[in-house]
Amino acid sequence: MQTIQNKKILRYLLTPPKILVIGFALIIFIGAILLSLPIASSTGEALSFIDALFMSTSATCVTGLAVIDPGTELSLFGEIVILSLFQIGGLGFTTMATLIALVFNKRISIKERLVLQQAMNHGSMEGIVRLMRKVIVYSLTIEFVGAVLLAIRFSVDMPVMKAMYYGLFHSISSFTNVGLDILGTIHGPYSSFNPYVNDPFVSIVIILLIFLGGIGFIVISDLLGFRKSRKLSLHSKVVLSVSLVLVVVGTIVIYIFEFTNVHTLQSLNQLDRIVASTMQSVTARSGGITTLDVPMLRQSTQFFMIILMFIGAAPGSTGGGIKVTTFAVLIGAVIAMARGKDDVVFFRNRISKDVVYKAITLTLLSFLLIIAFTMILSVTEDRQFLTLLFEVTSAFGTCGLSMGLTPELSSIGRVTITFLMFLGRLGPLTLAYALTPKPQKESFRYPEGKITIG
């Protein structure tokens, strides 16, 4: 009897959202310990635990912000630890656990299926294990192809074995949308892909990897099955249409804002300008890899990129932000209200009121989080407001773009951003569900009241 009661208590305590929170926290802690070892440093001098925790969180939460330059300050062991963390973080530790279970032919329980459903933001448990198999195969295939293409290009500048390693590292970094790089040993610390701004091949490969990682595994599965089924789900249609609109609009806006900026686009030829503008548009929604010097962008461009970082990528992807579907539902709700319609409709499908309420709640919570953390940093860091807002939004949206503030953060600032990266990866609602008690159905409803809006 006592055993049954203990199982019930454990089942209550370890809900899917709580398992996700605990799982990510555990991986981050293990990564921090490994990165704080002397063997992880290129100099043999161990990183401080705060710096190791920051880098472990950034990698696991696929953010990409860095207080050290991985290429120059980490050893090969440290780089492999970082690589492992963002591979696990990008695919999700639940996906990796599923892979291990499938390898050993272990049955996936109902509880584990619920956790997978929560991790992937999937609508139901039906076909979730089949989806996870596809996620693993698709991800490894895309990363391998990206690694080969980048290795071919890198082999021009370095030995073949090194080019293969660099190709693999940056392919996984791009697809998981983390944006960390180890090019500092070649082009200087924190150089990112700036030296490749005149290389359309590298930029286009990176753009495609970031985009594929950002649209989500559900959409990739739908696209690959389109030839057979001849249809796409509503989710895939919304994600693809909104993502493409954001990429195109972002490219045009950034091109217009930076066209005459001598520090960014002005010195480039026409093709390189378009490719560089597209890169900034795509990477701002979670990629973290840049070919332009972010601090040298005009303030209008930086603020526009903050908006893109806040929107983020798609649900069930390696990216962050409030997600493109949330943004689509908000815009749809505004249009419906302006037209005097009761329903939000996409592709002749009505969106339920619960989804609209969830989109509004998620957006408001995210907005309040960014405001709160920006206010905290404005107290601890002596920098311009736009710089602080940019860094906070980048951390929350797991984007990884920086205006140069992150390496100069105080200890309190580093801990603050570390916590925000964790929140951004899990999502405010997941954390809220994990921390709140199990909701109980109310036995009554209050009478309806009226208030004036606007």
Backbone angles phi, psi at 350, to 5 degrees: -85, 135
Predicted TM-score (pTM) of the model is 0.87
Q: CB neighbours of 126 closer than 8 A, spacing ≥ 6?
A: none
- Provide the sign of the torsion angle of the four alpha carbons 241, 243, 247, 250, taken in this order: positive
pLDDT given at position 188: 80
Report how far Cα 67 is from the mean position of its chain's Cα atoms. Answer: 18
Q: How far apart are CA 118 and CA 124, in angstroms?
A: 9
pLDDT of residue 9: 46
Please tell me the distance from the alpha carbon of residue 338 to that of residue 340, in angstroms, as a whole number.
6
pLDDT in tens, 183-194: 988 888 888 899
Residue the block writes with tokens 């009121």 = 353
Strand partners, 346: 349
Domain membership of residue 437 (yes or no) is no
First-to-last C-alpha distance (Å) of the chain? 58
Residue 352, by phi and psi: left (phi above 0), alpha (psi -120 to 50) or beta?
A: beta
Report the distance separating Cα 52 and Cα 169, nearest Å.
Answer: 19
The confidence score (pLDDT) of residue 272 equals 94
pLDDT in tens, 177-219: 898 999 988 888 888 899 999 999 999 999 999 999 888 877 8
Q: Which letter does DSSP use for residue 155 in this model? A: T
Note whether residue 331 is domain-resident: yes
The answer to whether residue 336 sits within a structural domain is yes
- How is residue 406 written in tokens? 């992150």
| Coil vs helix vs strand at 79 | helix
Q: In 10 A of CB 383, how many CB atoms?
A: 18
Q: Check: CB of residue 223 under 8 Å from CB of residue 243.
A: no
Inside any domain, residue 383:
yes
Position 111 in a domain: yes
Local structure of 4: helix, strand or coil: helix
Q: What's the chain's Rg over C-alpha atoms? A: 22
Q: Is the Cβ–Cβ distance between 36 and 81 less than 8 Å?
A: no
Q: Provide the number of structural domains found in the chain.
A: 1
pLDDT number for residue 104: 44
Q: Is 90 helix (H, G, I), strand (E, B) or coil?
A: helix
Q: Indicate the burial class of 61 (C-beta count within 10 angstroms; 0-12, 13-18, 19 or more).
A: buried
Distance of CA 366 to the CA centre of its chain: 14
Q: Please list, residue by residue across 191-225, b when 16 or more beta carbons sit within 10 angstroms of its beta carbon and e when fewer do.
A: bbbbebbeebebbebbbbbbbbbbbbbbbbbbeee
CB atoms within 10 A of CB 179: 31
Hunting for tokens 């370890």 — which residue is that? 14
Q: Is residue 446 part of a domain?
A: no
Instruction: Give the DSSP per-residue string, 308-348.
Output: HHHH-S-TTSS--SS-HHHHHHHHHHHHHHHTT-SSEEETT
Q: What is the pLDDT of residue 15?
A: 62
Residues 94, 101 contacting (CB under 8 angstroms)? no
Q: Is residue 147 part of a domain?
A: yes
Residue 191 belongs to what domain range? 2-432
| 366: in domain | yes
Dihedrals φ, ψ of 251, to 5°?
A: -60, -45
- Angstrom distances, CA of residue 434 to CA of 215, 281, 449: 26, 33, 31
User: What confidence score (pLDDT) does residue 12 get?
Assistant: 47
**What DSSP element (H or E) covers 273?**
helix 270-282
How many angstroms separate the CA atoms of 53 and 133, rounded?
31
Torsion of CA 305, 306, 307, 308, to 10 degrees: 50
pLDDT of the residue at 10: 45
User: Alpha helix (H) ranges present in 104-127?
Assistant: 110-120
Burial class (CB in 10 A: 0-12, 13-18, 19+), 419: middle
Judge contact between 315 and 323, C-beta under 8 A: yes
Cα separation, 274 vs 282, in Å, equals 12
pLDDT tens-digit series, residues 156-185: 988 999 999 999 999 999 998 898 999 988
From first to last of its 454 residues, the chain has per-residue pLDDT tens of: 445 554 444 454 556 667 677 778 888 999 999 999 999 999 889 999 999 999 999 999 889 999 999 989 999 999 999 999 988 888 764 455 455 445 445 555 554 455 455 445 555 555 556 667 777 788 889 999 999 999 999 999 889 999 999 999 999 999 988 989 999 888 888 888 999 999 999 999 999 999 998 888 778 888 888 778 778 888 889 999 999 999 999 999 999 999 999 999 998 999 999 999 999 999 998 888 999 999 999 999 999 999 999 999 888 777 888 999 999 999 999 999 888 888 888 888 898 888 888 889 889 989 999 999 999 999 999 899 999 999 999 999 989 899 989 999 999 999 999 999 988 887 765 655 555 555 566 666 778 777 766 6
- 93 contacts 23 by C-beta, under 8 angstroms: yes
- Cβ-based neighbours of 153, under 8 Å, separated by 6 or more: 167, 199, 201, 202, 205
DSSP 408-440: G--HHHHHHHHHHHHHHHH-HHHHHHHHSPPP-
